[in-house]
């Protein structure tokens, strides 16, 4: 397992090429092309702003403007869910590639996660100027925690992506089950509501069991609230994500030989 993991660095050029191919394929044939990477988050932010300031105004203290608060959690959540959905199906859809003897199958779920991470960063080009305009984002040491949060989410998502992609080859029901789990997971995470609310803090011990709670809060504290007070939970999740990644890669490596026959 460790030998295969070490050889991944040799394929970084291939990973970059596949990520670029994946991003180009998403907008092939469209008029605006890659510009949709900016248009989609912008339209989403405009819709949120209109709905939650005009149609259903949210006046909760401490999370105003509410649309920006919610977008700080929606953006990384979209990266997370899109990555898992695509990674889960990546070995099946890329069956023609993994049947080649020298092709490392783990590259496919990794590419899915990295391609969606690029979209996440492009979405930040819409979010960050909006935060600056509303005087929510300040240049301080708090921002140093942002790359740490991104790295923790990357490792955590890669770990789950490797596990789910390997298992889905043999258990196709996972794809349908995942959709329902992610829907429940979303509402169990403080994204559309603040974790500082009394009725949320009352169930703190349950929210602490949710890994994405600590990611969502870290993004909110880094970009919206300040200062960062959730760093211990974030670092603990980072350490757990590394262990989960090694376990996920071990599982993937154990099932590797069965992929070509099962897809």
Tokens of 123: 């979405």
- Residue 72's Cβ-side half-sphere holds a number of Cα atoms within 13 Å equal to 30
Q: Which tens digit of pLDDT belongs to each residue from 83-113?
A: 999 999 999 888 787 777 678 889 999 999 9
SS3 91: helix
What is the average pLDDT across 235-248?
A: 96
Answer whether 88's CB lies under 8 Å from 164's CB.
yes
Distance CA 151, CA 214 (A): 13
Which of 95-101's residues contact partners 24+ apart within 8 Å by CB, and which partners? Answer: 95/260, 95/263, 98/259, 98/260, 98/263, 99/260, 99/263
What is the average pLDDT across 121-138?
A: 87
How big is the chain by its Cα radius of gyration, in Å?
Answer: 19
pLDDT at 142: 83
Distance CA 103, CA 97 (A): 7
DSSP single-letter state for residue 65: S
- In this predicted model, which residue has the larger pLDDT, 132 or 33? 132
pLDDT at 78: 92
Tokens of 74: 């929606």
Roughly what angle, to the nearest 10 degrees, separates helices 145-168 and 107-133?
150
Given a cut of 70, whether residue 9 has pLDDT beyond it is yes
Question: Which residue, among 97, 77, 257, 253, has the nearest Cα to 162 in the 3D structure?
Answer: 253
Q: Which tens digit of pLDDT belongs to each residue from 193-238?
A: 888 888 888 888 999 999 999 999 999 999 998 778 889 999 999 9
Given a cut of 90, whether residue 54 has pLDDT beyond it is no
SS3 149: helix
Given a cut of 70, whether residue 158 has pLDDT beyond it is yes
């Amino acid at each position: 397992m460790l030998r295969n993991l070490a050889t991944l660095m040799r394929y970084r050029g291939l990973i970059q090429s596949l990520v670029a191919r994946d991003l180009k394929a998403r907008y092939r044939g469209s008029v605006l092309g890659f510009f949709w990477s900016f248009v989609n988050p912008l339209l989403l932010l405009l819709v949120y702003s209109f709905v939650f300031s005009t149609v259903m105004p949210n006046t909760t203290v401490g999370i105003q403007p509410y649309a920006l608060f919610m977008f700080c959690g929606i953006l990384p959540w979209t990266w997370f869910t899109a990555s898992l959905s695509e990674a889960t199906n990546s070995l099946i859809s890329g069956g023609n590639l993994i049947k080649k003897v020298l092709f490392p199958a783990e590259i496919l779920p990794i590419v899915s996660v990295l391609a969606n991470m690029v979209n996440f960063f492009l979405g930040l080009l819409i979010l960050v100027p909006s935060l600056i305009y509303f005087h929510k984002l300040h240049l301080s040491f708090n921002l140093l925690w942002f790359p740490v949060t991104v790295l923790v989410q990357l490792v955590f998502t890669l770990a789950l992506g490797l596990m789910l992609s390997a298992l889905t080859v043999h258990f196709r029901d996972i794809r349908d089950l995942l959709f329902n789990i992610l829907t429940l997971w979303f509402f169990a995470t403080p994204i559309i509501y603040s974790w500082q609310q009394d009725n949320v803090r009352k169930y703190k011990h349950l929210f602490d069991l949710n890994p994405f709670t600590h990611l969502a809060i870290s993004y909110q504290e880094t970009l919206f609230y300040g200062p960062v007070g959730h760093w211990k939970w974030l670092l603990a999740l980072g350490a757990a994500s590394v262990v989960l990644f090694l376990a996920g890669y071990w599982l993937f490596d154990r099932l590797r030989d069965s992929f070509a026959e099962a897809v």
